[in-house]
Amino acid sequence: MTCSRPTFAEITEWVADYEKHDHVAHATVHVLPQEDPEHLESGIVAVHLNHGPASIYLNVDCDRKWTAALTERSGEFPLSGGHLIALGEELLTTGRLCEYLQSRTD
């Protein structure tokens, strides 16, 4: 089976285009090279959440479907109401970025 993922350059361009018209609220977004040795030409999108001790990685598979993986964290982290709202905005807008990447891939 041939695996046809978007290239690193395509993903970088799509993220830049997304950020021109929308943005991932409060979060920091980076496109990183794919670590899978069979797919080095592709990339992943890393979103560092500024209001929670975690990151989200957006990855595309060989079926050209984007998924999000939230890094696991142990323990509790107390949040004020404002920080909880900001974390929710980070998650919502990261989901929108994932959907945008899916639409560009399709």
Predicted confidence at residue 15, as pLDDT, reads 95
Question: How is the chain classified by DSSP, letter by letter?
Answer: ----PPPHHHHHHHHHHHHHH---TT-EEEEEE---GGGTTSEEEEEE-SSSS-EEEEEE-TT--EEEEEPP--S-----HHHHHHHHHHHHHHHHHHHHHHHHH-
Read off the pLDDT band of 66 (50, 70, 90). Answer: very high
Q: Tell me the pTM.
A: 0.88
C-alpha torsion angle, residues 11, 13, 19, 20 (rounded to 10): -160
Read off the pLDDT band of 1 (50, 70, 90). Answer: low
pLDDT above 80 (res 39): no
Q: What is the end-to-end Cα distance of the chain in Å, rounded? A: 19
Q: What is the pLDDT of residues 42-60, one digit of tens each?
A: 999 999 988 877 899 999 9
Q: What is the pLDDT of residues 21-30, one digit of tens each?
A: 887 777 889 9
